[in-house]
Amino acid sequence: MSCTWRVLLSLCLLSMACPEPLQQQGETFATSLRFSRKILTRVRNLLFQYKEQLMGDSQFEDRLTMLRSLPVLGVGYSQWRSMEDKDRLTAAAQDLKVFWDHLDVKRIQLKEESKRQSSTVVTAMQNIQMDLRDLIAQVHSQLQAMNATVPAPREEEIPSSLMVPTLEWHSKLMGYIILRDLDRYMNKVVRDYILLKVKYRE
């Protein structure tokens, strides 16, 4: 076999062997992107419903009050863009689990509180938890496909202000903050998957 034929054969084999894993990974990122957008829509709908029914005003806004046990959202564009893929996914897996834990506390509180509380809010919150659980599983699978270590959940302590709120208004405000920050975080997850989808389909 001539040298030219060897080169051509090698290129053919390479073109058949290499793109497939990347294409498959790109497809999983595209699936997670669609799912993340669905979750974001659900979170926004619930946030509107929560503000309307529990805060008494669908236009309620509080951009200053923070809950320190929730993931930090302030990542600059250059830092975000330069992150390695596995680090991006690892952070998402850990942070989404933190949001799941906080939602679980708030959902149980709402369920146990007065029957005046809307059961539709509790049901919507539970549905979002199920979606987050499935998205976390997708992230874990993607990390395994990269031969990266699946992260252990962060040992985040739920603050006593959320576990045992002293005032009814404060309890409602904590729920609002969780949903508000989850809305923002899901925006970041969507951007992550847009980037990964494009990168792995190039």
Q: For 40-49, what is each residue's pLDDT tens digit? A: 999 999 999 9
- What distance in Å separates the CA atoms of residue 58 and residue 139, rounded to the nearest whole number? 33
Residue 170, SS3? helix
96-111 in b/e burial notation, b at 16+ Cβ within 10 A? Answer: bbbbbbbbebbbebbe
Which among 192, 199, 202, 177 has a CA at the least distance from the CA of 36?
192
**Residue 21: its pLDDT value, please?**
63
pTM comes to: 0.85
Question: CA-to-CA distance for 195 and 83, rounded, in angstroms?
Answer: 11
Please give the Cα distance from 121 to 47 (Å, whole number). 9
The CATH class, in words, for 21-199 is: mainly alpha
- The first and second tokens of residue 6, run together, are 């060897």
pLDDT tens, position by position, 125-178: 999 999 999 999 999 999 999 888 888 877 667 777 787 777 888 889 999 999
**3, pLDDT greater than 60:** no
Tokens representing residue 39 in the block: 């979750």
pLDDT digits (tens, 9 = 90+) for 56-101: 999 999 999 999 899 987 677 788 778 899 999 999 999 999 999 9
Q: Is residue 119 very low, low, confident or very high in pLDDT (cuts 50, 70, 90)? A: confident
